[in-house]
Chains A and B, each alone.
Chain A
Amino acid sequence: MIEIIDLEKSFDGQKVLNGIDLTILDNELMAIIGKSGGGKSVLLKHLTGLIKPDKGSVLVDGVDIVRLSGRELDGIREKFGVVFQGGALFDSLTVYENVAFPLKEKVKIDRKELHERVLRALEDVELLGMGKKYPAEISGGMKRRVALARALITEPSIVFFDEPTTGLDPIILNSIHRLIVDTHKKYGFTGVIISHDIPEIFDVADRIAMLHNGVIVETGTPDEIKNSFNPIVRQFIIGMEVPSFKP
């Protein structure tokens, strides 16, 4: 379980997070929506301990990671898998090496088992033949899938996805969403997904939280969010669903 309590963060006097309260339950897929530049990535980086808040706490299974650093923080991070916004694949490594990397560096494992697990992970994301390619040689959609495979290969109990589908065409978008749902069913993990994809994310997430002006303005199941009376939520969802067209 992840509990975010009264989290605040400013950059150069600009308040990005202004008292975030949110609880993410074990094994649920929680989506965080909100407008671009609203601080979603910043919030996610607080959950992985990459940014320290000005105030507040982040409890991961009861441990406040805000107050941890070094070895102790790394100990908590062993539970994590992270899919970064752009994929953040290592340029100098091939697709295969990227996926193998966390396993090879973190876990004592013999070569044969490593190889098998990497192949299985590549197969899960339908990239079996692409192992020898470098990140610069593959498309944006493939990069996201490699990032997904890399994040999941250590079988983390908590996975963070920062816009795993933004900017992709509807077919690839749906295939990545299906991949997330399938692997979630198969391996089971607590997932936090930042997303712009409305309405598609409603079919993926168990619950949805909306971030606006640095606070969580509404949390609920997809149906609750769809039927919300909160004007901010309504406007965001409608605005995303029907692109306004001005001649």
Chain B
Amino acid sequence: MRILGAWTLSAVRRLGNIFTFLANAVYSIFSPPFKFGLLLRQIRFFGNKSMVIILLTGSFTGMVLALQLFYTLRKFGSDALLGPAIALSLIRELGPVLSALMVTGRAGSALTAEIGIMRISEQIDALTAMALNPVRYLIVPNIVAAVIVFPLLAAIFDLIGIYGGYAVAVKLLGMSEGTYFSQIETFVEMKDIRIGLYKSLSFGVIVSWICCYKGFNTRYGAEGVSKATTEAVVLSSILILIWDYFIGSVLL
């Protein structure tokens, strides 16, 4: 009983710390000075690290969707709707979620490791001792960069996925080229794009927040960094999926 109480207490305290961390970062975003140079650097960091993997997974996701949905839709005799089925799956769901998971694995882990190393090599202490706020230098640029980059990467994922689906549908399954795109134009609404956008914006906040938090609170020792990195990736991925369900059920 006492153990349970202690565990609950420490869990609550940790949760409190995570949210205080975010609140602190958000406060710093809106209080000058803002470090534009660092923001550009982190945008490049997310972009460079993730671009190849987004192109790769995006195209294959579109291709797999084409195969699967073609099979299903033909059973209902509505295979003309293959284009919009692929596009809607990507834009509303798979684009934001899969691209966020990919960026987490690629850039998020690197981010945690980088900040974790700064923690254990006392670089964060050095900033603090210089009377400079490490949150402003290390956390704020990453959160803002992620909020900008995640939607862009999701859009690229969607686009390349739609073209991947097109390649399979038209070249492989013999669908007519005109039908594929014209049906997409008919059925994809602004609302769908908005939902995808909300999702990837919030995923950007979640991933950068969790990965920065884990790196910032790395325990000393080399295994501290690897533990922080693993925890950051696992926790971010879980939260992405939970939040995806939540926001999906609210915005449907």
Residues of A within 8 A of B (CB): 45, 48, 50, 74-75, 77-78, 80, 82, 84-86, 88-91, 101-102, 105-106
B159 CB to nearest chain A CB (Å): 32
Chain A residues, CB < 8 A from B251: none
Chain A residues, CB < 8 A from B129: 48, 50, 77, 80, 82
* Residues A74 and B131 in contact, CB atoms below 8 Å apart: yes
B218 CB to nearest chain A CB (Å): 15
Main secondary structure of the interface of B (DSSP, over half): helix
Instruction: Give the most central of A50, A88, A101: most B CB within 10 Å.
Output: A88
Residue A88 contacts which of B125, B131, B132 (CB distance < 8 angstroms)?
B125
B185 located at the interface, meaning its Cβ lies under 8 Å from any Cβ of chain A in the complex: no
Shortest Cβ distance from B124 into A: residue: A88
Q: What separation, in Å, do the CA atoms of A91 and B127 have in the docked complex?
A: 13
B118 located at the interface, meaning its Cβ lies under 8 Å from any Cβ of chain A in the complex: yes
* Residues B125 and A45 in contact, CB atoms below 8 Å apart: yes
Chain A residues, CB < 8 A from B48: none
* Residues A106 and B123 in contact, CB atoms below 8 Å apart: no
Chain B contacts with A in 105-132, Cβ cutoff 8 A: 117-118, 121-123, 125-126, 128-132
* Residues B123 and A50 in contact, CB atoms below 8 Å apart: no
Q: What separation, in Å, do the CA atoms of A48 and B122 have in the docked complex?
A: 13
* Residues A50 and B128 in contact, CB atoms below 8 Å apart: yes
B89 CB to nearest chain A CB (Å): 39
Could you write out 9 A-B pairs with CB less than 8 Å apart?
Answer: A82-B130, A84-B126, A86-B121, A88-B122, A88-B123, A88-B125, A90-B126, A101-B130, A102-B130
Number of interface residues of B (CB under 8 A): 12
16 more CB-based (< 8 A) A-B contacts, given A82-B129, A105-B132: A45-B125, A48-B129, A77-B129, A82-B130, A84-B125, A84-B126, A86-B122, A88-B123, A88-B125, A89-B123, A90-B118, A90-B123, A91-B121, A102-B130, A102-B132, A106-B131
Instruction: Give the most central of B118, B121, B125, B131: most A CB within 10 Å.
Output: B131
What 7 pairs between A and B have smallest CB-CB spacing? A74-B131, A77-B131, A88-B122, A88-B126, A82-B129, A84-B122, A48-B129
Chain B residues, CB < 8 A from A102: 130, 132
- Kindly supply a per-residue 1/0 record for chain B positions 195-214, scoring 1 wherever the CB is within 8 Å of any chain A CB and 0 otherwise: 00000000000000000000
Q: What separation, in Å, do the CA atoms of A91 and B122 have in the docked complex?
A: 11
* Residues A85 and B122 in contact, CB atoms below 8 Å apart: yes
* Residues B131 and A78 in contact, CB atoms below 8 Å apart: yes
* Residues B132 and A106 in contact, CB atoms below 8 Å apart: yes
B133 CB to nearest chain A CB (Å): 8
Chain B residues, CB < 8 A from A84: 122, 125-126
Chain B contacts with A in 81-123, Cβ cutoff 8 A: 117-118, 121-123
Chain B contacts with A in 127-148, Cβ cutoff 8 A: 128-132
Shortest Cβ distance from A89 into B: residue: B123
B162 CB to nearest chain A CB (Å): 37
Q: What separation, in Å, do the CA atoms of A85 and B128 have in the docked complex?
A: 15
Q: What separation, in Å, do the CA atoms of A89 and B128 have in the docked complex?
A: 13
Q: What separation, in Å, do the CA atoms of A86 and B128 have in the docked complex?
A: 16
